[in-house]
Chains A and B, each alone.
Chain A
Amino acid sequence: MIAKLTSSERQNALVLAVIVALAGAAMAILGRSDVLGVHGLIVMIFAGVVIYLIMASFYEPEPTEDREASYYDDPIKAGIVLAMVWAVFGMFMGVWVAAQLAWPDLAFDGAWSSFGRLRPTHTTGVIFGFGGNALIATSFHVVQRTSRARLAGQVSPWFVLLGFNLFCVLAVSGYLLGVTQSKEYAEAEWYADLWLVIVWVTYFILYIATIARRKEPHIYVANWYFMAFILVVAILHIVNNLALPVSWGHAKSYTIWPGVQDAMVQWWYGHNAVAFFLTAGFLGMLYYYLPVRAQRPIFSYRLSILSFWGITFFYMWAGSHHLHYTALPHWVQTLGMTFSVMLLVPSWASAGNALLTLNGAWHRVRDDATLRFMMAAAVFYGLSTFEGSFMAIRPVNALSHYTDWTVGHVHAGALGWVALITFGSLYTLVPVLWKRERMYSAALIEVHFWLAIAGTLIYVFAMWNSGIIQGLMWRTYTEEGALAYSFVDSLVAMYPYYIARAFGGLLFLIGAVVACYNIWMTVRAVPAAAPRATDIPATTVAVPGE
């Protein structure tokens, strides 16, 4: 891990790790009568492992080669491994909670294992653990290749990667211990949130400094999206998580936002976490790995501009569509609906741009499952953004809100778009990073592809059915003008779909396990490729789309 650091950089890394360990000790002491103390211990253990890793090779010889003559790929490799670990963890938790809805005894009478505590471990595990690590890793790769410059730091990439994972560990372990703000997709408590701000600002500075070193006059479109992802997530995270801790010794805090304002801030955050974490970041991936894999330039530069600024501007208005018919003032609901519908234009511009890029490469889509992952991702992106705009329309939302339809919609995007584009990108990236000829098994990629597609379709169709049935049963009246069904009637109707949904999720999880094996075997068993003379900074690497 630190073989490529000079001895002064190793000292800096050590000092940082010791500071984190001391912060953990402070938490453990201040929070000794609270769960905060447990988190202090977890921070100390995490920092202790890092300190051990640094010390283990602290006196190894320093690097002698000119580091600027090569890209900095070690943190990217670690990021990919972490992303896959989180993928399996997060998806397993998803299958488990899905099964609990059909068979509630699967909580085994534990406090930590009930649906309410496990559900955020699933969402945080897949969104931040899997998605976040994949975004950090691919953004480090893309920014170096498209800028033809090495990352602008030696220790900071490791700080960003490991610091982010410490945040994820604190968040997920916190939910199991009962530490949560209950803000969806922002459940982690104040100290973890503060830590993420430090990590994220470092990430931003590192990214911008690397772009400032670019040898290309123009900033490539993938970097626009990664920059928007980093910047706007910082704004959203800070504003939504403003809170007052009960005391320095308490894990618990109270948000500064009350009632209706909290609802608006939360869904402004919640919807834009979808926009800038789960969309912008992954569009950054798509704009680099899809043209590379298809060996075709991006279809239209103008469409790229239109969709980028459309997404950046429109999305921030759309959050209030989560609050139709609620106590939120009507004018805000109307604004949210209007902009949600307009969002379809930049969204489809992106999806169309991706699919038209494949023109002339459709034979590759047929033969190459990796490229097919990305093609399918673009299709699911188009479908789920259409569905999203549709569901944001007030009368449609009257039916869909509070039902499984929303859950199905989210998973059409999360499984069909986010996960598929990530797997396609990782299958492209892994052989390049580890300098292998190819992935270990093309057949296993093919198997993974069909498991993922089957899992996604079973999941989404199950949730469409259950959601619409649920919504209709809640509003059905008898001829005498009374409500026709009790709530329990609608719950009973859901059971078959809950079982189907868990099965679809299980297929998707098996696919991710297959991917882990394939990546592992690629690193272990595939012969090294002949050195790629082009994969070094400041040479004439072809930059897609330029």
Chain B
Amino acid sequence: MSDTVHRKLERSAIGFVIAIIAAASVGGIVEIAPLFTIDETVEQAPDMRVYTPLELAGRNIYVREGCYACHSQMIRTLRDEVERYGPFSLAVESQYDRPMLWGSKRTGPDLARIGGKYSDFWHVAHLNNPRDVVPESNMPAYAWLARTPLKTDDLSDHLAAQRALGVPYTDEMIENAARDAYGQATPDTDYAAGVTERYGEATQVSAFDGVTTKVTEMDALVAYLQVLGRLTDAAYRETAAAEEAPASQE
């Protein structure tokens, strides 16, 4: 770049502003726009279901408490990660996730496939006081979740907002959101039947925190943890082999 050209540019505030915008825009446009147009970016998973209202409420609690600051939900394509946590994560598995919770730090383990690994009872005990079940843990205790009733009256609004952004919730799901949240945490009631009807037989209906008289935030969070990695089985089908960690070829 010749000095004289730049000397001229320095004399024009507007010129400089335009030059900065031009230089700074290229990278983002080239890297982000094609993610919406290249079909291979997100795999196909026709069997994938959406979060139930209770699971979505649990996810929002996970977000609210900042769990993502210590737990990732993204198993990388490395051999040791696949052997520790399960098949590596696919883009399609977070296609309904707003925001994504891939995380950036593992002070605790990855949670992308935690669903079904432990019992509801274990999760409740662990959330009440992690050191009761993992003595070495440095995770905060969340005992108060079991004492906090879940706010369900606005769950329809949440589902409607999700649908406006492209998540395939039906009118029936939106209408019955509060009822389904209650039903998923109270097995053997009429409400429970509606949940499996709308979200599939595989949906876990359970008294997550062991108490069926009221739905708490503990119910919602455990319901969410138990569905992690289980909305689709796409990751267990015909995926490529994991990579060796580059520096540790045994």
Interface residues of A (CB under 8 A from B): 100-102, 104, 107, 109, 111, 114-117, 119-120, 175, 178-184, 208, 211-212, 217-219, 224, 227-228, 231-232, 235, 239, 244-247, 250, 252-266, 268, 276, 301-302, 305-306, 309, 312-320, 322-329, 332, 335-336, 339, 394-395, 398-399, 401-403, 406-407, 474-477, 481, 483, 487-488, 491-492, 495, 498
Q: Which of B11, B25, B80, B104 contacts A316 (CB 8 A)?
A: B25
- Partner of A326 from the list B35, B64, B89 (CB cut-off 8 Å) is B89
Known: A119-B66, A246-B161, A406-B105. 15 other contacts (CB 8 A): A115-B70, A116-B67, A182-B68, A183-B99, A228-B24, A231-B20, A254-B158, A258-B166, A306-B1, A313-B24, A315-B24, A395-B247, A402-B105, A406-B104, A491-B137
* Known contacts A231-B20, A260-B94, A483-B83; A327 and B248 CB within 8 A of each other: no
- In Å, the complex CA distance between A253 and B60 comes to 10
In whole Å, how far is A178's beta carbon from the nearest beta carbon of chain B? 4
* Given known contacts A102-B138, A104-B140, A309 and B23 CB-to-CB distance under 8 angstroms: yes
| Distance in angstroms between the alpha carbons of A232 and B32 in the assembled complex | 16
* Nearest CB of chain A from residue B105's CB, rounded to whole Å: 6
A-B complex: 10 closest residue pairs judged by Cβ atoms: A116-B66, A316-B27, A395-B246, A259-B94, A317-B27, A325-B76, A114-B140, A327-B91, A260-B91, A402-B106
The binding surface of chain A is classed by DSSP as helix
Cβ distance B103 to chain A, nearest Cβ, rounded Å: 8
Interface assignment of B241: CB less than 8 Å from any CB of chain A: no
CA of A150 to CA of B107, assembled, Å: 50
- Say which one of B141-149, B197-205, B222-230 lies at the interface with A: B141-149
Q: Are A231 and B13 in contact (CB under 8 A)?
A: no
* Given A109-B143, A317-B30, A317-B31: A475 in contact with B99 (beta carbons within 8 A): no
Q: What are 28 residue pairs bridging A and B, where the CB atoms are less than 8 Å apart in the complex?
A: A101-B107, A109-B143, A109-B144, A115-B66, A179-B64, A181-B99, A182-B63, A227-B17, A227-B20, A228-B24, A231-B17, A235-B21, A246-B154, A246-B158, A252-B60, A255-B98, A259-B91, A259-B95, A261-B36, A262-B98, A318-B27, A327-B74, A327-B89, A402-B106, A406-B104, A477-B248, A491-B107, A491-B108
| B16 close to chain A: CB less than 8 A | yes
Bound complex: CA of A316 vs CA of B140, how far in Å? Answer: 36
Point out the residues of chain A lying under 8 angstroms from B90, CB to CB.
327
The listed residue (B68, B83, B99, B104) touching A255 by CB distance below 8 A is B99
A483 to chain B minimum Cβ distance, whole angstroms, is 6
Task: Please tell me if the beta carbons of B31 and A335 are within 8 angstroms of each other in the complex.
Answer: yes
**Cα distance, A119 to B103, chains bound together (Å):** 14
Q: What separation, in Å, do the CA atoms of A326 and B24 have in the docked complex?
A: 25
Q: Which of B106-149 contact A (CB under 8 A)?
A: 106-109, 130-131, 134, 136-144
Given the complex, which residues of A lie within 8 Å of B109, measured CB to CB?
487
Q: How many whole Å from B207's CB to the nearest CB in chain A? A: 23
Asked if B175 is at the interface (CB within 8 A of a chain A CB), the reply is no
Q: Which of A116, A227, A250, A483 contacts B65 (CB 8 A)?
A: A116
Q: Bound complex: CA of A266 vs CA of B154, how far in Å?
A: 28
Report which B residues bind A (CB closer than 8 A): 1, 3, 6-7, 10-11, 13-14, 16-17, 20-21, 23-28, 30-32, 35-36, 38, 40-42, 60, 63-70, 72, 74, 76-78, 80-81, 83-84, 88-109, 130-131, 134, 136-144, 154, 157-158, 161-162, 164-166, 243, 245-248, 250
Are A258 and B96 neighbours in the complex by a CB distance under 8 Å? yes
Measured CA separation A109–B14 after assembly (Å): 54
Which residues of A are found within 8 Å of B64, using beta-carbon distances?
A: 178-180
Q: Does B16 contact A180, Cβ atoms closer than 8 Å? A: no
A232 touches B140 (CB 8 A): no
Report the nearest B residue to A239, measured CB to CB: B28
Bound-state Cα–Cα, A235 to B22, Å:
12
Q: Provided the pairs A227-B17, A260-B41 are in contact, do residues A104 and B137 lie with their beta carbons within 8 angstroms?
A: yes
- Evaluate contact between A218 and B243: CB separation under 8 angstroms: no
Give, as a whole number of angstroms, the nearest-CB distance from A460 to chain B: 16
Q: In the complex, what's the smallest C-beta–C-beta distance from A30 to chain B, in angstroms? A: 13
Question: With A228-B24, A231-B24, A406-B105 as given contacts, are A178 and B98 in contact (CB-CB < 8 Å)?
Answer: no
Contact A268 B28 (CB under 8 A): yes
CB distance from A95 to the nearest CB of B (A): 16
